[in-house]
Amino acid sequence: MLRVIRRALGAGALALLLAAAVTTAATPEGPRLAVVKTTAKSYRLELLTVGPTGDRPLRLAVRDANPRMLMVFSALSWSPDGEHGVFTGIVGSRHEDDHELLLRLFIVRADGSGLRVIRGTSGANAPVFSPDGRTVAFNRLVDRETPTTVGGKRREEFHGASIWTVDLLTGAQRQLTPWRDGVYYAASSFSPDGSTLLATHEDNSLLNAPEPVALKLDGSGSRRLLEVGMSPVYSPDGSEIALIRNTAYGEGREETTDLYVIRADGTDVRRLTRTPGRSEYSPSWDPSGERLAYARSPVAGSEYAPPGLLPNELMQINADGTCQTTLLSAPGTAFSAPAWFSAPTWQPGPGRGAGRIEC
């Protein structure tokens, strides 16, 4: 694993928009999860790891963000041994007029040291480490109103996303899904044996909601898991899949999202949360497979969202739907300033399992 990672690291200085932690420390033992923190007043973004109660924050990367370009960090995807993580970083913008962001994948050690760009990942977003630690899947998004070339064809405009992989040892890339205008794919999780990649598929021409799909990496095709759902992620043993689904509440049928769990074959749909006025997103399994972390925020205009403010929380829940608890929220956390928390991902590795929540 370490040999593969070292050879994948790019040489030279990092992009100016990213900076490593000023100091690094030994990674704390025990359960940890990565989170993205946006400080409200200063638009400061940080990629952190914290303990299972939001304690002992350790900074992996930071940026003092331009308010027009807040999406600096994607969710961190951990290597199977939990020693490294990959994420998306912004390195600039394509044009002054449309501010299309230029993205690259970055890799960092679990103690916050060794932050580097992964060469050859121009336009890459939302990386997902493979179980063998050698391959990273990612999305490439093209969203242009101006003439552009996509997939070797000249187009007047194009809006879509495809899934690719990059071999960290050789740099070789492979395109898994085709470019199609109005069609979006977003990778989210490998099966433990590396044979299948879960993704969200959305086709604007069909006017359908996003749907979770399982892509076979041997080229034998894809399978839709459910008619509606997004962000599917395998449990550590591969037997279950957590995902987010749209839910309508009340007489006005206000639509939010809730957290669900299904079997890996798409059967036995079980709903874990019921939160009218709030939406869940970004589920992540604890290495023990007994609990999930996820983000939750109020729907704009609901009674849970004060005017001009959209507070959010990072939550935890047992895989059977019991003991839903708050992990981080703002204000009143271990951090000093009101903040927005997102993209929780549990760190794998020996001794990292948090087990069941006791309530």
Over residues 248-302, the pLDDT tens digits come to 766 655 678 999 999 999 999 999 999 888 889 999 999 999 999 999 987 765 5
- CATH class, domain 1-22+39-224, is mainly beta
Confidence of residue 98 (pLDDT cuts 50, 70, 90): low
d(CA 327, CA 75): 17
Q: Which of 20, 27, 55, 51 is nearest to 111 (CA)?
A: 27
Beta bridge partners of 90: 103
Residue 304 has pLDDT above 60, yes or no: no
Q: How far is it, in rounded angstroms, from Cα 212 to Cα 227? A: 8
Task: Read off the pLDDT band of 3 (50, 70, 90).
Answer: very low
How does residue 10 score in pLDDT terms, banded at 50, 70 and 90? very low
Tokens of 316: 């935890």
pLDDT digit string, tens, across residues 214-238: 999 998 888 999 989 999 999 999 9
State the pLDDT confidence band at 202, using cuts at 50, 70 and 90: very high
Exposed / middle / buried, residue 331 (Cβ in 10 Å: 0-12, 13-18, 19+): exposed
- pTM here? 0.86
Task: Enumerate the domain spans of the chain.
Answer: 1-22+39-224, 233-359
- What confidence score (pLDDT) does residue 9 get? 35
Most confident of 53-62, 63-72, 193-202, 215-224: 193-202
pLDDT of 63: 74
